[in-house]
Structure 1
Amino acid sequence: MTELQSRGLRLQDPGAGAPSRRGGAGPSDHKAVTVDGITLMVPVHTHSAFSSPFIADAPGADGRSVLRRGNIPIASIAFPRQPRFYGLQTEDGIPYSHIATLHGADVLATTVLQTCIRYESRRKACRFCAIGQSLAAGRTIAHKTPTQLAEVARAAVELDGVKHMVMTTGTPPGADRGARVLCDSAAAIRAAVDLPLQAQCEPPDDDAWFRRLKDAGVDTLGMHLEVIGDELRRQILPGKAEVPMARYWDAFAAAVDVFGRGQVSTYLLAGLGDSAELILSTADRLLALGVYPFVVPFVPISGTPLEDHPAPGSEFMRSVLEPLGARTAAAGLKASDIKAGCGKCAACSTLSRYETPALAA
């Protein structure tokens, strides 16, 4: 599975399963694929995917397909179908799919603010980010209101059985860095439906926002480092790098005090230049604080400055994920124990497979 996620997948039927998309926030240029009962987000629109040795046959009438390496069948796979809530729209005519989308097999996800103070400046934009592409293409709206999010979340639970929800946001002006709009959104959703929630934002200036998020109904929090080395951060995410790493570490500790061990997480993007040793040593520090280090392979997104940057090889990913999986398990911080969010979904990385060695592949 690690190699499949690193190399990507060629599709004999590009329309198989739920629609995939090029560009935008979240796991863009991917498609959800279920292998041995585990759903992964696998690149299908990247340069590496176009030359991948992995090929998926067109699905049969039962929705199942055969995964091949070259001409050799290696697994039976399935593609999660388009959710039923995608067929609905709000009273003012906004498609529900423009407000929130299905990630993996059973996770609802939204970008509350599709604009970002970082993205709007070429000098400050994260070099891998495509948050504005969905908006420019007319596939989403700039600000999802609490009422809209509550309406869609309720429908996604009732019609498609989603199990939890991820709310991320572009960073707005202001010291709360998105925490305020996430609080408002969470309160409305939890008033409408009993759905575990993850919120994701940059560390707010005031730790009091963590308690406000928790009180609003947020179960888990993501604050994403993405890149570790100081010089690399200045090169790849120059705007985010203006928030010192020291603030992230202080915020992690304060957030764990509110949400609990294992319910705070951070994305670490493998393959952008941080060494395996640096990723693992940083993960050790995170684990000691009670933060789940969600290491995912970098996937180049079309239309970004890093669209031609190579994805990490499967050997590099194994050199990180195998020891890290053992360490997260030993620390008692496993993906399966997270209440909601990206780490629990685990579709964008095979890390959770290495937390149970018999499943790793």
Structure 2
Amino acid sequence: MSEHSSLINALQTHGLRLVDPRAGHESRRGGAGPSDHKAVTIGETTVMVPVHTAPSFESPFLAEAPDAAGRSRLTRDGREVATLRFPARPRFYDLKTADGVPYSHIATLHSRDVLATTVLQTCIRYESRKKTCQFCAIGQSLAAGRTIARKTPAQLAEVAKAAVELDGVRHMVLTTGTPPGKDRGAAVLAESAAAIKAAVDLPLQGQCEPPEDDAWHQRMFDAGIDTLGMHLEAVTPEVRARIMPGKASVPLEKYFSSFEAAVKVFGRGQVSTYILAGLGDTAEDILAMGEKLCAMGVYPFVVPFVPISGTPLESHPAPDGAFMASILAPLGRMIAQAGIRSADMKAGCGKCGACSALSTYEKLGVPA
């Protein structure tokens, strides 16, 4: 067992207390993606660790104030267990667009070299408490004035180019709230990708719900999207209906047919899905889904659920490290055996891997 695998699991489930909250670049509160987290590097692996959640406030892990090089002693119950490093504040954060919008309101740095944006910071699922995904905080950063509701293609292209040139960004994630319409966000992703690729050669992942018409997969690919994420979040109909009643209106069968169509366009291992462990699906449920997805050539990116402050699930417990290991160890072997390793992904959350220890378990699978 990799020492880093178990430590990352424990950090991502317990969270982390900080002696100096200002260490490294800003942590992320609210919004889409890994919210209430902070990026830290352990060895050569950069991960997102909860720092603003209820469990993190009582975590046994404490990061001491960093030295001048950004290194910090990590202790567990007072005993040193590792050395952390905090990524520096991105230089592109200091810039603004011609119309005065801070670049950090357009896109943010995830991990060390991954740029991410939520193109539409509004969602038809979020507008009603009866339909909203219970874990989602997409509206929080907008309400707090840390982002804008719609990022234009020109803004995204400008910021992406600067992030590559100033901070060495190597790939980018374009996610979106779901708009009205049968394309379910594919149109705005394609429009954004085309503008970014015209400005800078940067691998892109698009993330949206399965579009009604499978022709959108080819349209997104032709626009410059290299990999596609369509996120299940939960894997059983019962949990999906309870946790995300609006999104569950798109049945699992539609996801499977859309995955199959997307793999034909993007290729094996270049289509992925996010699965949140700890919402109620059993380890057996998740592994059965993982086996099916691997056989289809879809990368199953399983991450521990993190309760986000201000959401209906803010008091829901995070899964423990043993539960995550019981999933990630066999899943890592499945992924390696299927030949769809995260390292071979062109762009996206699975390639970044910072929200889960999964990639470290892949390396313990079968030889390449």
Are 2:78 and 1:71 equivalent residues in the alignment?
Answer: yes
Aligned to 1:91: 98
Are 2:314 and 1:307 equivalent residues in the alignment?
Answer: yes
Aligned to 1:52: 59
Q: Which moved more, 1:287-296 or 1:227-236?
A: 227-236
Are the equivalent residues in 1 in contact too, given 2:54–2:309 (CA < 8 A)? no
Q: Which of 244, 251, 255 is residue 258 of structure 2 equivalent to?
A: 251
Q: Which of 179, 201, 222 is residue 215 of structure 1 equivalent to?
A: 222
Q: Which of 330, 336, 342 is residue 329 of structure 1 equivalent to?
A: 336
Aligned to 2:146: 139
d(CA) in 2 for partners of 1:64 and 1:271? 31
Instruction: Tell me by how many angstroms 1:31 deviates.
Output: 0.4
After superposition, the C-alpha distances for 1:77-129 in whole angstroms (9 at most, x for unaligned) are: 10111100000001110000000000011100000000000001111100000
Q: Which of 153, 158, 169 is residue 151 of structure 1 equivalent to?
A: 158
Using the aligned pairs only, state the percent identity: 70
d(CA) in 1 for partners of 2:28 and 2:333? 34
Runs of 4+ in 1 over 4 A off after TM superposition: none
Which runs of 5 or more residues in structure 2 are unaligned? 1-7
After superposition, the C-alpha distances for 1:257-307 in whole angstroms (9 at most, x for unaligned) are: 000000000001000000000000000000010000000000000000000
d(CA) in 1 for partners of 2:130 and 2:214? 28
d(CA) in 2 for partners of 1:48 and 1:102? 24
Query: Normalization by structure 2: what TM-score?
Result: 0.96
Instruction: Tell me by how many angstroms 1:21 deviates.
Output: 2.6
Which runs of 5 or more residues in structure 1 are unaligned? none
Instruction: Tell me by how many angstroms 1:24 deviates.
Output: 1.3
Quick one: which amino acid aligns to residue 330 of structure 1? Answer: Q
Aligned to 2:3: none
Q: Which of 26, 41, 61 is residue 68 of structure 2 equivalent to?
A: 61
Structure 2 residue matching 1:238: 3-state secondary structure? coil
Aligned to 1:32: 39
d(CA) in 2 for partners of 1:74 and 1:227? 33
Aligned to 2:346: 339
After superposition, the C-alpha distances for 1:291-340 in whole angstroms (9 at most, x for unaligned) are: 00000000000000000000000000000000100110011011111100
Quick one: which amino acid aligns to residue 83 of structure 1? Answer: P
Aligned to 2:5: none
Quick one: which amino acid aligns to residue 192 of structure 1? Answer: A
Are 2:194 and 1:182 equivalent residues in the alignment?
Answer: no
Aligned to 1:273: 280
Aligned to 2:232: 225
d(CA) in 2 for partners of 1:26 and 1:324? 22
d(CA) in 1 for partners of 2:343 and 2:60? 31
Query: Normalization by structure 1: what TM-score?
Result: 0.98
Aligned to 2:295: 288
RMSD, matched Cα: 0.8
Are the equivalent residues in 1 in contact too, given 2:36–2:51 (CA < 8 A)? yes
Instruction: Tell me by how many angstroms 1:75 deviates.
Output: 1.2
Aligned to 1:128: 135
Instruction: Tell me by how many angstroms 1:22 deviates.
Output: 2.1
Map 1:7-46 onto structure 2 (within 5 A): 7-46=14-53
Q: Which moved more, 1:4-13 or 1:275-284?
A: 4-13
Structure 2 residue matching 1:150: 3-state secondary structure? helix
After superposition, the C-alpha distances for 1:19-41 in whole angstroms (9 at most, x for unaligned) are: 01321111111100000110000
Are the equivalent residues in 1 in contact too, given 2:119–2:175 (CA < 8 A)? yes
Structure 2 residue matching 1:199: 3-state secondary structure? strand
Quick one: which amino acid aligns to residue 147 of structure 1? Answer: A
Quick one: which amino acid aligns to residue 292 of structure 1? Answer: Y
d(CA) in 2 for partners of 1:71 and 1:48? 18
Structure 1 residue matching 2:93: 3-state secondary structure? helix
Q: Which of 116, 122, 126 is residue 123 of structure 2 equivalent to?
A: 116
Are the equivalent residues in 1 in contact too, given 2:293–2:300 (CA < 8 A)? yes
